[in-house]
Amino acid sequence: MSTDEARPRDAKVGRPPGLVVVLGVLGLAFFAVPFLGLLGRVPWSDLPELWSSDVVVDALRLSLVASVSSTLIALLLGLPLAWLLARVDFPGRSLVRGVVTLPLVLPPVVGGAALLFALGRRGLIGEPLNQATGLVLPFSTWGVIIATTFVAMPFLVITVEAALRNLDRRYEGAAAALGAKRWTVMRRVTIPMIAPSLVAGLVLTWARAFGEFGATITFAGNLQGRTQTLPLAVFVALESDRATAVAISLIMVIVSLAVLVGLRDRWWKAL
């Protein structure tokens, strides 16, 4: 393989057409301008005080706890589900896939209402559960986790199912021929080979869970320290105190950017 390092050849070859550049920049502006608007409203001098208030600290803690928990639950339940969808041809598979995708399409508030109908105190499962154990899921931190998992898990299932489908199954055959039992094949071959997609799926899941609002406020309610995540805190603050609202929004932007930028090109390629 010869390398030609003489001079950069991108001068004439491979440059995108002008129109593409223009539209691309417009697209970027579409995203960037609202953020710049947000930045313009930040009360920079008050930030330390605003950020250390207990409202913000509680909300940040809850958001992190809920989003990370959701991601883990999504992994635990979503990976096997994706496996079944990708590998097993069971009757009604398309329907199942449709149902799994539903939270992506429904407005989150509708999702929250559905969760109430199922798991609320008078809910399909919630009522017998409450009567048997006294457990109440809405208005609790677990309620938040359930709401965020509900809207975020589809991301993981879809990403992983696609990755499994695209995987060359002959590698698994090779592993089996070498003597690896099914579990070993999954652990040492399948999952490492879909790792980039899996990580990308997990990050998307986390991001969606972190930003979740509608289902949370409908199902889990809004109480500082117990259910008031960052998005809810922003919403409530918007009513009374724009400065606090903007300060909290800034936290969300920083945390999200940190995670997503940290993700690097490498993982994005797998999406």
Partner 1 sequence: MKRDLSIPFLALVVALVACGNGQDGAGLGGELLVSAAASLTDAFVEVEAVFEDANPGVDVVLNLGPSSGLREQILEGAPADVFASANIPNMDQVVEAGEAADPQVFVANRLQIAVPPGNPGEVTELGDFSWEDPLIGLCAEDVPCGEFGRQALQKAGVIPAVDTNEPDVRALLTKVAEGELDAGIVYATDVASSDGAVEGIDIPEDLNVVAEYQIAALTNAPNPDAAARFVEFVLSEEGQEILAGYGFASP
Partner 2 sequence: MNGSGLSAHFTLRRSDGFELRLDLEIPAGVTVALLGPNGAGKSTAVAAIAGLLPIDSGSITLDDVVLDDPDRGVFVPAEDRQVGVVFQDYLLFPHLTVLENVAFGLRSRHVGREEAAARAREWISRVGLDDLAARRPGKLSGGQAQRVALARALATDPRMLLLDEPLSALDVTTRSELRHDLANHLTVFEGPRLLITHDPTEAFLLADQIHVIENGQVTQTGSADEIRLRPRTRYAADLVGSNLLMGTARGGVVDIDGRALHLPDQAVDGPVLLTIHPTAISIHQLPPEGSPRNSWETTIDRVELLGSRARVRTSAPLPLTVEVTEEARSALNLEPGSHVWVAFKATEVTVQPDAGS
DSSP per position, 12-39: TSSPPPHHHHHHHHHHHHHHHHHHHHHH
Question: Which of the ranges 27-35, 116-124, 178-186, 212-220 carries the binding residues for partner 2, by CB under 8 A?
Answer: 178-186
Query: Smallest distance from the beta carbon of 236 to partner 1, in angstroms?
Result: 5
Instruction: Indicate whether 238 belongs to the interface with partner 1 (CB under 8 A).
Output: yes
Question: Which of the ranges 28-36, 63-71, 161-169, 213-221 carries the binding residues for partner 1, by CB under 8 A?
Answer: 213-221
Would you say 152 and 216 are in contact if contact means Cβ atoms under 8 Å apart?
no
Would you say 229 and 66 are in contact if contact means Cβ atoms under 8 Å apart?
yes
**Given candidates 61, 93, 242, 266, which one binds partner 1 under the rule CB under 8 A?**
242
Instruction: Indicate whether 87 belongs to the interface with partner 2 (CB under 8 A).
Output: no
The footprint of partner 1 on residues 43-82 (CB under 8 A) is: none
**Given candidates 6, 11, 177, 261, which one binds partner 2 under the rule CB under 8 A?**
177
**Given candidates 176, 221, 253, 255, which one binds partner 1 under the rule CB under 8 A?**
221
Instruction: Indicate whether 174 belongs to the interface with partner 2 (CB under 8 A).
Output: yes
Give whichever of 176 and 223 is closer to partner 2, judged by the CB atom: 176
16, HSE (Cβ side, Cα atoms, 13 Å): 8
Query: Under 8 Å CB-to-CB from 200, ≥6 apart: which residues?
Result: 159, 263, 267, 268, 270, 271
Task: Report the alpha-carbon distance of residue 239 to residue 33 in Å, rounded.
Answer: 23
